[in-house]
């Protein structure tokens, strides 16, 4: 019986020749990830269980990104606990102010994650790394604690849905429009505990930033993970980033999928997810009467260089609409620096936007853009649940950087023009 790409990775890390959907396994871990919110809980559990050392200091990553630079005393105490733990255990991949970034943009950028890896992270959007051909999934802080100590985690092997991608995206669309379209089709539980496996000739036209965005939001369809095959785009991205050798897994020709869904990328349109679920999608041009108060361009979903480029192309030489707050957050310090060197930061400021240091900040209602009652925000983030970005009576509309930037200029949800 053939195996999917995800099943092959899990079998290899479990030391098994084959695995099947629904099987419980223990798998060796390549990377264990935590952030400033989840790591303190994991550290407490680590100590409570009597663990005294980590399984491998080079296989643990702790990224301070949610409320860093610290927004209040509680955030400062949590970050302090992370720093002390990382120092006492000589954690190699520890990222603090000055060299940090939003974790799911930072780890691929820094070459911490690699093709063929088995990765857990105490953050639901750890599924991002499937874009590199890795199995990666979010877990709770207790699982993180056990992973840090033992280097092993247990999984139920997921069944899979295959997404056959054909064609090429229109110029005014990106990976964000693809994944919003898919979630709109199948719903927020349409891939519940499944592996979303992307295949087809359309893959060749998707950049690594597109793929990272798509896998990032697999969890918003309920998926255990999202994953792309390793191709020239993947290998080119990883070249000179990591010292580890990529391990390439391919699905068997007779792999079993619950179903196959074909997506013609040429038919994708600028898409917006309306409050209060990611599945509530509509075409951007159908929402032109929705007046907005704020725009956020950033997050682990859309804070990468291509996202900054998209915002720059729209905002350059123009002005943000009166009464709209436009907040732009490059996802890592390297992206921030490149934006500065290219002149993007100056263009953003001239347009009337504010540019922040890398942080998750407003995405989870943390800081740097909290909404009041009745306010509406177009955000390139990944969730628009009730109260996600502030007051329970506020509204968040999820969109691509191009849609968000175009909306900032008009004060209404706006479909961007093709370049």
Q: How far apart are CA 52 and CA 33, in angstroms?
A: 18
Q: What is the spatial distance between Cα 306 and Cα 344, in angstroms, rounded to a whole number?
A: 12
H or E element in which residue 39 lies: helix 39-48
5-264: CATH class: alpha beta
d(CA 49, CA 46): 5
Q: Which CATH superfamily is domain 270-410 in?
A: Aconitase, domain 3 (3.30.499.10)
For the chain, helix, strand, coil in percent to 5 are 35, 20, 40
pLDDT at 37: 96
Distance of CA 395 to the CA centre of its chain: 21
Which token pair is 251? 């699905």
- Sequence ranges of the chain with CATH classification 3.30.499.10: 5-264, 270-410
Q: CA-to-CA distance for 418 and 28, rounded, in angstroms?
A: 46
Is 405 in contact with 310 (CB distance < 8 Å)? yes
What pTM, to 2 d.p., does this model score? 0.95
DSSP string, 281-294: EEEGGGGTT-B-SE
| Predicted pLDDT of residue 282 | 96
Pick from 215, 221, 165: which is nearest to 192 by CA?
Answer: 221
- Tokens 């991002």 correspond to 128
Residue 300 tokens read as 């682990």
What is the reported pLDDT for 1?
76
Q: Residue 29: how many CB atoms within 10 A of its CB?
A: 22
pLDDT digits (tens, 9 = 90+) for 353-365: 999 999 999 999 9
Which residue(s) pair with 32 in the sheet? 60, 120
Transcribe 210-236 into DSSP letters. Answer: HHHHHHHTGGGGT-SEEE----HHHHH
Supply angle C-alpha 269, 270, 272, rounded to 5.
125
What local confidence, expressed as pLDDT, does residue 242 receive? Answer: 87
Cβ atoms of residues 147 and 32 within 8 Å = yes
Instruction: For residue range 302-341, list pLDDT tens digits in order.
Output: 999 999 999 999 999 999 999 999 999 999 999 999 999 9
Which segments of the chain have a pLDDT < 70?
419
């Amino acid at each position: 019986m053939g195996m999917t790409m995800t099943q092959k990775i899990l079998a290899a890390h479990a030391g098994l020749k084959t695995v099947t959907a629904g099987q419980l396994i223990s798998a060796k871990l390549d990377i264990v990830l935590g952030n400033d919110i989840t790591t303190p809980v994991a550290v407490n559990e680590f100590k409570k269980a009597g663990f005294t050392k980590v399984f491998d200091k080079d296989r643990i990553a702790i990224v301070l990104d949610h409320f860093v630079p610290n927004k209040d005393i509680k955030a400062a105490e949590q970050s302090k606990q992370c720093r002390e733990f990382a120092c006492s255990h000589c954690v190699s991949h520890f990222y603090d102010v000055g060299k940090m970034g939003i974790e799911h943009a930072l780890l691929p950028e820094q070459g911490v994650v690699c093709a063929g890896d088995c990765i857990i992270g105490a953050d639901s959007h750890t599924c991002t790394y499937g874009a590199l051909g890795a199995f990666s999934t979010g877990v709770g802080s207790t699982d993180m604690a056990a992973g840090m100590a033992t280097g092993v985690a247990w999984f139920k092997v997921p069944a899979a849905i295959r997404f056959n991608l054909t064609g090429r995206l229109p110029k005014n669309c990106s990976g964000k429009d693809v994944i919003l379209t898919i979630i709109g089709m199948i719903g927020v539980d349409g891939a519940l505990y499944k592996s979303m496996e992307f295949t087809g000739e359309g893959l060749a036209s998707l950049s690594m930033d597109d793929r990272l965005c798509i896998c990032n939001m697999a969890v918003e369809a309920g998926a255990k993970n999202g994953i792309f095959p390793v191709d020239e785009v993947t290998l080119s991205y990883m070249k000179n980033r990591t010292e580890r050798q990529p391990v390439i897994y391919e699905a068997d020709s007779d792999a079993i999928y619950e179903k196959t869904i074909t997506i013609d990328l040429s038919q994708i349109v600028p898409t917006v997810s309306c409050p209060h679920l990611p599945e509530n999608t509509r075409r951007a041009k159908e929402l032109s009467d929705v007046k907005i108060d704020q725009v956020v361009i950033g997050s682990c979903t859309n804070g990468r260089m291509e996202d900054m480029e998209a915002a720059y192309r729209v905002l350059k030489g123009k002005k943000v609409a009166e009464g709209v707050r436009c907040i732009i957050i490059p996802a890592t310090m390297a992206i921030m620096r490149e934006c500065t060197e290219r002149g993007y930061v100056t263009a953003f400021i001239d347009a009337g936007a504010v540019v922040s240091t890398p942080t998750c900040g407003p995405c989870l209602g943390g800081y740097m853009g909290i909404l009041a009652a009745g306010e509406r925000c177009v955000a390139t983030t990944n969730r628009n649940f009730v109260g996600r970005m502030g007051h329970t009576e506020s509204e968040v509309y999820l969109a691509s950087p191009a849609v968000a930037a175009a909306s900032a200029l008009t004060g209404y949800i706006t479909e961007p023009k093709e370049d």
